[in-house]
Structure formats: C-alpha cells, structure tokens
Structure 1
Amino acid sequence: MQGGAQGGDMQARQADPSKTVAQVRDEGLGEGDKPDYFSTKATIVYLKPDNLAYPACPNEGCNKKVIEENGQWRCEKCDTVFGEPSYRYIFTVAVGDHTGQMWVQCFNEIGEQIFGRPAREMVALQMADENQFQKVVRDSMFQTYNFRCRARAEVFNDVRRMRYTANRLSSIDYVKEAANLSGLIDAYSN
C-alpha cells in the first residue's frame, strides 16, 4: 500500500487495513517519496526507560527543547527564560507481533496513554523514587495496542533507514477482535 494517506487526509488513513510487522517490511512501506500510513496490532516488548521525556518550552505551540542556564530554563526559539520547563514524552519502543518486531518512536500523546500520566509526573517520579519509576515502566511493557503509524525512510550520516512513528494508539476491543477473527475463520472454512 505504497503512497498512503498524506498528513491531513484522516479519512483515507482510517481506511488503511491493519498490517503485520512482516507485511510492513515486505511491502516496503515508507520506501517511496512520501510516507506511508498503516495500523498494526502489536505488543510493547521493550521500552527504553532512559530519556523518556525532554524539558520543553511551556509557550503554547512551541514545544522546543529548552536549555538550563543558572537554574533557569531558556528557549532559544522564543528567546524567553522560564523558572520551570514543561516536559514532553519522546521515546522508542520495540513492538512485536507473531511475525516480527520493529522499533517505533512515540511522542507526548502516545506516552500519556501508555504511562497513564503526563511526562512531568514521570520525570518527578524518576527523581523521587527510581524503583517506583522502573515499576511503572515495567508495567507498561507487554501491553497490546492498535498502533496507527507512519513509515518514512530517512537518511542520517549517509545511511538510509526506516523510521516508524506512532501517530495514534488505541486499546484492543476484544469483542470486535473476536468478531473479526470469526469472520476470517468463516471465510476460510467455506
């Protein structure tokens, strides 16, 4: 399904069929000039716990990383100094299904869903109680979700690699899943 939906084409994105990890690779999603969008039902098999969040500019719409200078935080884009930064999630998870595994980059909204709390709370928890922080991270692993992702090839240091980014995350609707599986069984048994 090359040449998938573009950024604002929400309806076309919702119509994309679900893919396994192997199908995403075998079909070369993201290899074209434009990114491809796909959905996959996968389980978080590993989550890198270091650097889950970054200090961000609290100005609405900015979200750029801020730099600490003498106990204050400075946004170079806004050229403003703050007493406290906002924190935003940015982390990578390994997700897998029965066909394979891939690394998916996650941002703030996805992190809030996975951890059930804003990034500033996770940063504070890590500073206050490393054991509890690690427990929250461990509890977030081996959870299965429907991931809505974008695949795009990128070149970094003259090396081309595929980047998968989660755009949306939803819990599994097991009743709907059972009905889909029942339909597949019926289709193959006829």
Structure 2
Amino acid sequence: MFSSKPYLDINKLIKWNIEFDLGLTNKSVKKGELFLKEGQKCNHQYYILKGFVRVYYLDLEGNQITHWFCGNDAIITSPFSYVKGERNILYFEAMEDTELVLISMQQLNTLITHIPEIGEGMRQMNAEFAMVLSRRIMSIHTQTAEERYLNLMEQHPLLFQKAKLSQIASFLGITQQSLSRIRKNL
C-alpha cells in the first residue's frame, strides 16, 4: 500500500550491505505468523522482499483494528518503539509466506553516515507515509463508507485477494456487516 522503492530499493540495500559490511539479516515468516507483538521491543525496520503483512492493534475491548497493509518493497516498523524506545502496541502478521530484511537503527545510522542522501530519502519517505496515513484518517470523517470502499478497491485491488473482509472492514473503519451491505448494494 506504500512502496519504499522510490527512496530505497533492495538492489541498493544489498550493494550497501556488502560495501559497508552492515550485517543485514533476512527473516522468513510463515503465513499467519506474528513477528512483532504488543509489548515486544521493535529493534528493526522490516523491508518486505516478498509477501504481504497486516499491521494491527487492539482496541479497548480487545478487537483487532487493522492499521495498515504492506506488500513487496514496503518498509514497516513500530515508530514508537523503534525510534522513541516506547512500548510497542502493534502486531505484525504475515498474511502469506513473507521474506524480510531486518534493518537496525545502528545499521541505518551507518548507512546515513556513508551516504547522507539516505537520510534525506528516509525523511522524504516518512513524510510521504505521514501524508498517506493522514489522508486515510481524514477519509473516515470526510467520505462515506461506500466511497472509502470504492477508493480502496480502485487503488489496491490485490488487497481483496489477500485480506479477510473483517480486516478490510476494520481498515475502513466500519463493521463487517456494513461492509457486507455495501458490497451487496454494489
């Protein structure tokens, strides 16, 4: 749903890993596996080589609220934990078998030291992501549920093949029953 490719791609990352002896590690995650849970410290940014991930949190009643979906060439992290060292509240779930490259803060800082443009690229990527997330949050208050559903279908049709309807409804900020009514009416 948000690609890091314009700012950082895997070919450059592999090259820099060798050139600067970063020691990046790969991680394989099976479908359905949680590779980050609430309360765990998030020590990495995760570059998704291949696969699909859902990021969610729990509301006050313990219901899963889908925060984000990520596919190939996306970078995800728990910013509260990774950047600020605060308690992590997110869950990262592999929606299909997923291959990740793990990037620690130290490895990222080494990259930025050797290639200062990486810092600017990360800043731009974070700014763009903040705008995308802000648009999504505002859409909950400025668009009907049907408009949000149609926009999601248009912009991310693959999502409907990879995620459950309950997860999509949660992402849209509606109940699964409302999503069923919208789908029936269309």
Q: Which has the higher contact order (CA 8 A, sep 6+)?
A: 2
- TM-score, normalized by the shorter chain, greater than 0.5: no
TM-score (norm 2): 0.25
**Which is richer in strand?**
1
**Which is richer in helix?**
2
TM-score (norm 1): 0.25
